[in-house]
A and B are shown apart, each in its own frame.
Chain A
């Protein structure tokens, strides 16, 4: 028993020693990077860019997030980072108001905050790295759908869940664009897929048989696009029912080449992560200040700042011609 205790003590001492040793020789800036959910390929590709920036800038990057999209857990993780005394926090907010209480607390302690992907309340962060406004995404998706259908016919939508904030936001702008510009198009149904590809496939199958005049399925969550495409392919309706959506090139390449999915819309997620980390580090170092009009991020060059939004640029449309050039 005694030897066990000594051994335990030794182990603890070693652990402590190693920890303080690392810290003493390690005056690196620490930046924490919070996704909406960790298991999501979208955020993993963002992290790839963030890792690249961290390596370039010689900082330490922390990455953690809820395993499911859970607003309460996001707050807990941010509060943990506050007590860890990180230098900057970059957040993709699952819920605007919910996360802002934790972020304000972080700012009060002198931690710099930027948001990316989905914004918090404006007073809870310094900058929002805006990959494309919800309006821009909604319009691009709707315009692309209208182009494919020649602005006429029925279409259906597959979302992640009925409660996800960003999905609601995009849906709202898609519907607004529809009403404003395409009176001959009709949105016949919106079905959730719980971020599950398998469920998206089942839902798309039912949508097609329930709506014989359906011309297009629009999936606005990334697992939904390959799920819908597989359903269309299995129903033998390739080309008759078109598929567009927000998704990652790698998950959709095979369907785009087969002609099932017409186009996938997304921004360059790697660049989003890269730009976010650069901005967070510059903020922490004091080289980026509120009120700046433009920002230069390493290899990517200069970006416009509109108000307190750093603009990544327009969403990108991947199709048969260009999708192989991207690997994320």
Chain B
């Protein structure tokens, strides 16, 4: 599935990422034509405006960052449910460092990033030193981080009144693009290089595919897996800072539920939840597909009249995820049915095959 060495053009054109790209283009064109209108004052409004496109980019940065953080994690056959909660905790700590401790913004940001890495480090330590399932460890830290954020602020404190220079990061444009998009693209490029162009990153796939094999091959599996979770924590902290800059406030509920959208984007992007395969560009396409769907729906007149944009985007994201999954296993499934039933009639397989020994 990963496209490091396409065997031929056909394989490349039919790879998961390319299929997703076609879906994305189709989606975009549909919304461009159906979601752009001219309003009463004769101004073109809706999906097809440059402003809207930039808004979509701006709104996708935090979830996109979390998806980037999760891609290496999931490639190593792990999962991190705590990134959304860690985002909330780091946002609070950042606000606290700046306002209560009186530190300058860059120092506060630096410390918040450190706290993110520490949070990821806690996950990493528990997962690797005790070889515990990441799902359950991060389920625990999911509650723990959010709980700490609430306990620190007693639920009540909201940090606001950030200086304009900081808000610039979240609300203005720099060199034509929303400022945080530069950060997002920078992280995306770095993660892409790490996963696809370094031996270090390539080992993630080996580890995800067969951890025991990787161990026998002499890879420091524990150390690499630990790195992946620490990196995830670090990126979650960066997302927290961007979130704070975009909304101009840091509050204990920041990032609630983001982990689900991030995981959805990663899986939609073709990374196997069982680990071993996946790509960063796939994840980026997944993030874009969800963001365009969500924002595009809100621009459709029919959907607007139903007052259902928010609900419908959730519903369709779920359906899209199931479709992508089904599509990705179908070829494998067909071939496995054929392999198990070499006898005639390879067609019309039962939906619930019970291969006999």
User: Per the CB under 8 Å rule, do A and B touch in the complex?
Assistant: yes
Residues of A at under 8 Å CB distance from B?
Answer: 12, 15-16, 19-20, 22-23, 27-30, 38, 62-68, 70-73, 75-77, 79-80, 82-85, 87, 95, 97-98, 100-101, 161-163, 165, 168, 192
Given A63-B307, A79-B55, is A163 in contact with B251 using a C-beta cutoff of 8 Å? yes
- Are the CB atoms of B311 and A168 closer together than 8 Å? no
A-B contact pairs, 6 of them (CB 8 A): A64-B308, A80-B52, A84-B46, A97-B160, A161-B155, A162-B150
Chain B nearest CB: distance from A230 CB in Å? Answer: 25
Given A64-B307, A83-B52, A165-B158, is A22 in contact with B295 using a C-beta cutoff of 8 Å? no
Query: Of A97, A101, A192, which one neighbours B171 at CB under 8 angstroms?
Result: A101
- Are the CB atoms of B310 and A19 closer together than 8 Å? no
Asked whether any CB of chain A lies closer than 8 Å to the CB of B321, the reply is: no
B window 153-196: CB within 8 A of A: 153-156, 158, 160-161, 167, 171
- Are the CB atoms of B51 and A83 closer together than 8 Å? yes
- Are the CB atoms of A67 and B311 closer together than 8 Å? yes
How many chain B residues touch the partner (CB < 8 A)?
49
Q: Which residues of A contact B55 (CB under 8 A)?
A: 76, 79-80, 83
- Are the CB atoms of A12 and B30 closer together than 8 Å? yes
Query: Of B41, B248, B304, which one neighbours A97 at CB under 8 angstroms?
Result: B248
Given A63-B307, A85-B39, is A71 in contact with B298 using a C-beta cutoff of 8 Å? no
- Are the CB atoms of A71 and B251 closer together than 8 Å? yes
Residue among A16, A66, A73, A76 with most chain B CB within 10 A: A76
Given A12-B33, A84-B45, A163-B150, is A19 in contact with B156 using a C-beta cutoff of 8 Å? no
- Are the CB atoms of A101 and B298 closer together than 8 Å? no
Residue among B46, B243, B307 with most chain A CB within 10 A: B307
- Are the CB atoms of A20 and B248 closer together than 8 Å? no
Q: Which residues of B contact A84 (CB under 8 A)?
A: 37, 39, 45-46, 299, 304
- Are the CB atoms of A163 and B155 closer together than 8 Å? yes
Residues of B at under 8 Å CB distance from A?
Answer: 30, 33-34, 37-41, 43, 45-47, 49, 51-52, 55, 59, 150, 153-156, 158, 160-161, 167, 171, 243, 246-249, 251-254, 256-257, 295, 298-299, 301, 304, 307-311, 314
Q: Which residues of A contact B252 (CB under 8 A)?
A: 162-163
- Are the CB atoms of A101 and B247 closer together than 8 Å? yes
Residue among A19, A101, A161, A165 with most chain B CB within 10 A: A19
Chain B nearest CB: distance from A107 CB in Å? Answer: 15
- Are the CB atoms of B155 and A19 closer together than 8 Å? no
- Are the CB atoms of B160 and A87 closer together than 8 Å? no
Chain B nearest CB: distance from A316 CB in Å? Answer: 27
- Are the CB atoms of A62 and B37 closer together than 8 Å? no
